[in-house]
Amino acid sequence: MEKLIITAAICGAEVTKEHNPAVPYTKEEMVREAKAAYDAGASVIHVHVRWDDGTPTQDKDRFAEILPAIQEACPGAILIPSTGGATGMSPEERLQPTELMPEMATLDCGTCNFGDDIFVNDLPTLRAFGQRMIENKIKPEFECFEVGHIDTALELAAKGQVPGAPMQFNFVMGLQGCVAARVDTLAFMVNHIPEGSTWTVTAIGKATWPMVTAAIIMGGHVRVGFEDNIYLARGHKAASNGELVEKVVSIAKQHGREIATCDDARRILGLAR
Ligand code: KMH
Ligand code: ZN
């Protein structure tokens, strides 16, 4: 089985220090959390940025301040800035980090519920994001919050409107109002992506650990981090993103799955650089 790529989604746009005091906002906190995850075994860091007061932003200059600082602390790590940002942001606002030419960025594959909010990703938005990623040679991570988002990504790829093979999918499961975190659904989703694609599972909240275990056994990759889940176990908050990654490494070891280095991850994901 291929080595396991661990992605750390260290802060997201919604979780706050009120949920867990270790949620990072400042550049120093972001670097601290990224490095803790990297040192524990993460080869990919999914990056949202905040202003120092915790407000989510897609400001290009804020990304330009934080991405290099994370890269310096985590040599070789693959950084995946968000183009999802927070619900309610405009497409132009969300696209800003793509101007910094990251090697990868997220591409959210359809409009969906996001808890009580609506996360708007209509087809014109997807085409605009795809066009930008083609022009700037950015490999998308196709974020699928619903089963049909896979079909959308595949249709856009077939039309040349988003970068194509090899495609990396992130199946986000258990977000309130979207597809539930179930192993049979995960198997269905995995069976619907083209051969040669790679996939990661992100499971929200209490679904995290069962789905991490399932993905490890099924040969997929996993994402953990405060963006998705702040708990190591029921009632036990993680003190850092590093602790969440350490738990993934321990589950992987139990199942004989080796952890990908950054070089391994770059090879597995087919990144050119
Ligand atoms: N914060 C969500 C509204 C992404 O990073 O592309 C969007 C999100 C997905 O987190
Ligand atoms: Zn995100």
Q: Is residue 246 in contact with ligand 1, taking CB distance under 6 Å?
A: no
3-state secondary structure 59-78: CHHHHHHHHHHHHHHCCCCE
CA 195 – CA 208 distance, rounded (Å): 26
CA 118 – CA 120 distance, rounded (Å): 6
Query: Is residue 73 situated within a structural domain?
Result: yes
Contact 109, 152 (CB under 8 A): yes
Q: Is residue 97 in contact with ligand 1, taking CB distance under 6 Å?
A: no
Q: How far is the CA of 236 from the centre of ligand 1 (A)?
A: 25
Domain coverage including residue 102: 6-269
Q: What is the number of structural domains in the chain?
A: 1
| pLDDT tens sequence for the chain (273 residues) | 999 999 999 999 999 999 999 999 999 999 999 999 999 999 999 999 999 999 999 999 999 999 999 999 999 999 999 999 999 999 999 999 999 999 999 999 999 999 999 999 999 999 999 999 999 999 999 999 999 999 999 999 999 999 999 999 999 999 999 999 999 999 999 999 999 999 999 999 999 999 999 999 999 999 999 999 999 999 999 999 999 999 999 999 999 999 999 999 999 999 975
Q: How far is the CA of 114 from the centre of ligand 1 (A)?
A: 9
Query: Is residue 177 situated within a structural domain?
Result: yes
Q: What is the CATH number of the domain that holds 56?
A: 3.20.20.70
Ramachandran region of residue 257, left (φ > 0), alpha (ψ -120 to 50) or beta? Answer: beta
CA 132 – CA 138 distance, rounded (Å): 8
Cβ atoms < 10 Å from Cβ of 183: 16
**Ligand with the closest atom to the CA of 111:** 1
CA 206 – CA 23 distance, rounded (Å): 18
Query: Is residue 1 situated within a structural domain?
Result: no
Cβ atoms < 10 Å from Cβ of 171: 28
Q: Is residue 86 in contact with ligand 1, taking CB distance under 6 Å?
A: yes
pTM for the full predicted model = 0.98
Contact 98, 134 (CB under 8 A): no
Q: How far is the CA of 267 from the centre of ligand 1 (A)?
A: 25
Query: Is residue 147 situated within a structural domain?
Result: yes
Going by alpha carbons, the residue nearest to atom 4 of ligand 1 is 84
Atom of ligand 1 nearest to the CA of 117: 3
Side chain identity at residue 110, one-letter code: G
